[in-house]
Amino acid sequence: MNNFIFENATKTYFGRGCVKEYLANALSGYGDNVMLAYGSGSIKKNGIYDEVMEVLNAAGKNVIEFFGIMSNPTYEKVLEGAALIKENGVDFILGVGGGSVMDCCKAVSMAAVSKDDVWDKYWAKMSVIDFETLPLGVIVTVAGTGSEMNGGAVITNEKYKVKTGRDYPKCNPKFAMLDPEYTYSVSVDQMVSGGFDILSHIMETYFSEPDEDNVSDDIAEALMRSVIRNLREAIKNPKDYTARSNLMWASTMAENGIIKLGKKMDFEAHQIEHQLGAYSNCNHGCGLAVISLVYYQHIYSYGLYKFVRFARNVWNIQAEGKTEDELARSGIEAISDFIKEIGLPTTLQELGITDKDILKQVANSCNISAGSYKKTTHQEILKILEECY
Ligand code: NZQ
Ligand code: ZN
């Protein structure tokens, strides 16, 4: 295993009723001006807004609302949130939503304090954050990104047509609250998209060196089996508490750093999806479903051992009568069947991308992963995208 140092600064509260029970206490060490940040209004329809407001009002907090955070949050929205904080002397940011709300809030927590253009200094370039960001807490309403327990924030800069993520430990939320019942109202389409995002985070970590026996890969296999099983259960019954709980915690576990320990990590499929998102504003999990399959067909032979292991240990495919190559391809076929089974798109056109001309620009603007079994080229990414079309 490769060397590592591990710390995760986010205190995590999990389970039914955790917001009602712990939110007031979690906020008690901070000032009274709380910025409540949320998306396009789902929390008003499903009752989460009322539940959170009740706690904030009872705790005597002065609430400043920052809403309309869009999926694939933009840098412009980040600056809007930062300005609101400066105008109102906000002491604490409370983000309620999915990855988009959480990521936007992390960037806002920097932009509200920094004197610099944070996009330029921390996203375009990667500088060290030498100041304290504004404290942030998050309440998760949809499983998928795992943003709640890391410092990662994926932001889209529309001016430069770049969507990219950075992970700064200083941006880790002070606390994260995960009530699986909050995800009951997520549409099946979004739930499966989030489910595939979880699976993708695990696969992007698993399909990388080292190949020698290591704890991270063992945990990753157990998590992948759990996501596949529980997604099937949650599709059958969206109010299955056990299934929703497992999906929610698997989502956090995939991105809280634990399965990444000692691993190189690939994440090229994510790099491609992010740039596709910058050009088309496509849904993150759906974009990954389209790209991953073709991407893995391109790289599996360079990491044959791991793809064989994946077929056997995750999909329980029997080895008898198959060459290693056939076995590895059966594992990739199993992902393909699963994508179809849960109703995710399989082509860019199904994803709503009809302008083939953008593909070259998408390909040329992708970051190249250093941790992949095969170092891809921009030309090869274009080929992958064309095959996805
Ligand atoms: O806008 P709201 O009202 O929040 O509605 C959202 C949105 O329409 C809705 N939703 C959320 N909770 C709900 C609900 N609808 C009904 N009931 C609920 N309880 O779901 C829709 C999607 O939400 P969004 O936050 O956009 O989705 P997701 O969580 O997939 O986040 C996507 C963003 O996160 C980034 C993605 O690139 C994308 O920008 N990622 C962040 C990562 C990180 N920070 O670690 C890692 C990921 O790989 C990813 O890149
Ligand atoms: Zn993702």
Is residue 147 domain-resident? yes
Count the residues in the chain.
389
The rounded percent of the chain whose pLDDT value lies above 70 is 100
Average pLDDT over residues 4-31: 97
CA nearest to 138, candidates 27, 257, 264, 21:
27
Q: Does one domain contain both 84 and 175?
A: yes
Nearest to 182 by CA among 20, 4, 64, 328: 20
3-state class (DSSP) for residue 97:
strand
Does the pTM surpass 0.95? The reply is yes
Q: Are residue 173 and residue 247 in the same domain, yes or no?
A: no
User: How far is the centre of ligand 1, averaged over its atoms, from the C-alpha of 374 (Å)?
Assistant: 30
Amino acid identity of residue 33, one-letter, is N
- Same-domain check for residues 333 and 213: yes
Residue 193 DSSP code: H
CATH of the domain at 209: 1.20.1090.10
Indicate whether 239 and 383 sit together in one domain: yes
Residue 316 is assigned to a structural domain of this protein: yes
**Are 172 and 251 found together in one domain?**
no
CA of 195 to the centre of ligand 2 (A): 10
Question: Average of pLDDT values for 120-147?
Answer: 97
Give the total number of structural domains in the chain. Answer: 2
Last residue of a domain, one of 165, 183, 201: 183
Q: Is the pLDDT of residue 253 over 90?
A: yes
My answer on whether 117 and 172 are in the same domain is yes
The arithmetic mean of pLDDT across residues 32-51, rounded, is 98
Residue where one domain finishes, among candidates 153, 183, 213: 183
Quote the CA–CA distance of 188 and 343 in Å, as a whole number. 9
Per DSSP, 61 falls in state: -
| Among the listed residues 381, 280, 297, 304, the one whose alpha carbon sits nearest the alpha carbon of residue 332 | 297
Chain-wide mean pLDDT for the chain?
Answer: 97
Are 131 and 62 in a shared domain? yes
Domain-terminating residue out of 126, 149, 183: 183
Give the model's pLDDT for residue 84. 98
pLDDT of residue 131: 95
Same domain, yes or no, for 162 and 69? yes
* For range 157-164, the mean pLDDT: 97
CB contact burial 163-195 (16+ within 10 A = b; e otherwise):
bbbbbbeebbbbbbbbbbbbbebbeeebbbbbb
Residues 15 and 109 in one domain: yes
Q: Look up the domain containing 72 and give its range.
A: 11-183
When pLDDT is averaged across residues 303-321 and rounded to a whole number, the result is 97
For residue 146, name the pLDDT band (cuts at 50, 70, 90).
very high
**pLDDT tens, position by position, 163-204:** 999 999 999 999 999 999 999 999 999 999 999 999 999 999
Tokens standing for residue 310: 């994946």
pLDDT band at 55; cut points 50, 70, 90: very high
**Cis bond leading into 169, ω under 30°?**
no
In terms of domains, do 195 and 304 share one?
A: yes
* Res. 350: pLDDT tops 90: yes
The answer to whether residue 1 scores a pLDDT higher than 90 is no
Same domain? For 272 and 320 the reply is yes
Nearest to 284 by CA among 328, 251, 235: 251
Ligand 1 site residues, Cβ closer than 6 angstroms = 39-42, 46, 71-72, 97-101, 103, 141-142, 144-147, 150, 152-154, 165, 182-183, 185-186, 190, 194, 197, 255, 270, 284-285
Instruction: State the Cα–Cα distance between residues 251 and 256, nearest whole angstrom.
Output: 9
User: How far is Cα 197 from Cα 251, in angstroms, rounded to an integer?
Assistant: 8
Looking at residue 150, its pLDDT comes to 98
- 2: confidence class by pLDDT, cuts 50, 70, 90: confident
Q: Residue range 309-314: average pLDDT?
A: 98
**Is residue 241 domain-shared with residue 158, that is, in the same domain?**
no
Q: What is the CATH number of the domain that holds 49?
A: 3.40.50.1970
Cα–Cα distance measured from residue 61 to residue 384, given in angstroms and rounded to the nearest whole number: 51
pLDDT tens-place string over residues 260-300: 999 999 999 999 999 999 999 999 999 999 999 999 999 99
Cα–Cα distance list, 154 to 18, 54, 99 (Å): 27, 31, 9
